[in-house]
Chains A and B, each alone.
Chain A
Amino acid sequence: QVQLVQSGPEVKKPGASVRVSCKASGYGFSTSSINWVRQAPGQGLEWLGWISTYNGNTEYAQKIQDRIALTTDTSTNTAYLELRSLRSDDTGVYFCAREQHNTVWDSHYYFLDVWGAGTTVSVSS
């Protein structure tokens, strides 16, 4: 079945970097882009970024664009999120999600149809 399996929890100190992985299986990895979304404790969903698994193009949320890097390894069907200069407000659960679309006439309607279980990142001194 289609699934995204994320790496385990991380505990980091402020100023450090973290790398979270997301391994895809059950579908053609290069056929669907991957998005990353995070959720601070007790808060809502925050979109962080998008990466094309086909050509590596990326798009980042303005708020975080100077500290985030999304990459993929098509040989292992894995997407990665790296976040640098961690702060306490980066604490939360980080989700990867597959992008899908439905086409009606000439319009493509995109949505996130398969999600990883989430990776908890804790930033504390």
Chain B
Amino acid sequence: DFQLTQSPSSLSASVGDRVTITCRASESIGMYLNWYQQKPGKAPKVLIYAASDLKNGVPPRFRGDGSGTDFTLTISSLQPEDSATYYCQQSYSRPSYGFGQGTKVEIK
């Protein structure tokens, strides 16, 4: 089974800050990595697929990078509405999937 490890598990940053979340895979997964945003009481929403492709309608301040085992999600200028938990997901072993443990982003 592929394991995904996210870091940090939580962070607090100010509006306008640049925020980076890391997702590390236990084995190489190419670019088969997606990022989701989940707000409390809501279903997750896909932001990035194929490691770096921005889903239609997602603000361009969200950026995904990486390949192989190391991936990042960067928010270039944090906004109040970005307060949420972010999850990475691998699709390399599709139809079997797996998620990282999540990173909670709070606004100072």
Binding site for B on A (CB under 8 A): 33, 35, 37, 44-47, 50, 52, 57, 59, 61-62, 95, 97, 102, 104, 107, 109-113, 115-118
Contacts and interface: CB of A to CB of B under 8 A. Distances in A.
Nearest to B99: A45
Contact of B91 (A52, A59, A110, A118): A110
B43 A44 contact: no
Per CB-CB distance, the 3 closest pairs between chain A and chain B, nearest first, are A115-B43, A109-B50, A111-B49
Q: Is the interface of B mostly helix, strand, loop or mixed?
A: loop
Given A44-B87, A44-B99, A47-B97, A111 B46 contact: yes
B53 interface: yes
30 contacts: A37-B44, A37-B99, A44-B85, A44-B87, A44-B100, A45-B44, A45-B89, A45-B99, A46-B99, A47-B89, A47-B99, A50-B95, A57-B95, A59-B96, A61-B96, A97-B43, A102-B49, A107-B30, A109-B53, A110-B49, A110-B94, A111-B46, A111-B50, A111-B91, A112-B44, A113-B46, A115-B44, A116-B43, A117-B43, A118-B43
Interface in B18-60: 30-32, 34, 36, 38, 43-46, 49-50, 53, 55
A105 to B, nearest CB: 11
Contacts, number: 73
Contacts of B36: 45, 112
Interface of B: 1, 30-32, 34, 36, 38, 43-46, 49-50, 53, 55, 85, 87, 89, 91, 94-102
Given A50-B96, A115-B43, A44 B102 contact: yes
Contacts of B45: 115
A116 B43 CA distance: 7
A24 to B, nearest CB: 14
Contacts of A115: 43-45
A104 B50 contact: yes
